Amino acid sequence: MQEQLLTWYAASGRSLPWRATRDPYAILVSEVMAQQTQVDRVVPRWQRWLERWPTVGSLAAAGPADVIAEWQGLGYNRRALNLHRAAQHVAAHGWPHDLTELPGVGRYTADAVACFALGADVLPVDVNVRRIQERTGAAFTSAAAQALMDLGATVCLARIPRCEICPLAAACPSRGRRYEPLRKQSAFEGSFRQRRSRALRAVLAGEDPQDEEAVAALTRDGLVHVSGDSISLPA
């Protein structure tokens, strides 16, 4: 199955800019940005980010306020602060042997950076990779990591897989199956996440957010600083 998958990937794999580098910092940025964000939205933001902060040292030296401002539009702003803190850790101490020591870096992200940047023989398992493993029952190596991610994102979809064009369909025991819809994330419109986002945008614009609950949540996450009646981004 892996051989068939790699043949398909050579002809049909997505062209993503971070696949042209082995820089662990650039790949870490791509992985953090792609968490809960569509890849087509990530590409231009990743390119802009690296133009502004091309090295881990340049990001580490940036102010958190600038990092938060640059992140706007990607959502889940704590990711920006964690990425900034991770860069500061690396700039001060180097890349740790266990990448999960970095702020905001879990098992999947650590394995992705290790595989794609550091040449480690480890298969990063995200939801797409796990889905294909479970449906096919096949074992794949780290050489198939990017191919698995592309197959899961474009062909072996969560609810209605496109078995008619899948390179693995002939030997797949799950061919033709349909799946119950996954539990969707709650709607952004009208949610507390939206209120937090509005409050943060107001602070960025130098305005009073006038949403004490949202400001309190942003403060707990370190995204804003409150001093008396003044609300600002962290220094």
| pLDDT value of residue 193 | 84
Computed over its alpha carbons, how large is the radius of gyration of the chain? 20
E strands, the chain, are: 225-227, 230-232
Q: Do 1-13+121-184 and 23-116 agree at the fold level? A: no
What is the enclosing helix (H) or strand (E) of 67?
A: helix 64-71
Work out the mean pLDDT of the chain and round it to a whole number.
94
Could you give the CA distance from residue 121 to residue 38 in angstroms, rounded to a whole number? 27
Could you give the CA distance from residue 234 to residue 77 in angstroms, rounded to a whole number? 13
DSSP secondary structure string, 71-91?
Answer: HTTSS-THHHHHHHHHHHHHH
Query: Measuring CA to CA, which residue among 136, 80, 121, 88 is closest to residue 104?
Result: 80
- Top-level CATH class of 1-13+121-184? mainly alpha
Q: What is the pLDDT of residues 160-183, one digit of tens each?
A: 999 999 999 999 999 999 887 666
**Catalytic residue (choose from 31, 70, 134, 189):** 31
| pLDDT value of residue 78 | 94
Q: Does domain 23-116 have CATH number 1.10.340.30?
A: yes
- % of the chain surpassing 70 pLDDT: 97
31 is catalytic: yes
Break the chain into its structural domains and give their ranges: 1-13+121-184, 23-116, 192-232
Q: How far is CA 158 from CA 5, 16, 86, 134, 139, in A?
A: 18, 22, 32, 12, 19
Residue whose token pair is 């401002």: 69
Q: How confident is the model at residue 191 (pLDDT cuts 50, 70, 90)?
A: confident
Q: Residue 187: pLDDT above 90? A: no
| pLDDT value of residue 182 | 62
Q: What is the pLDDT of residues 18-71, one digit of tens each?
A: 999 999 999 999 999 999 889 999 999 999 999 999 999 999 999 999 999 999
3-state DSSP assignment of residue 160 = coil
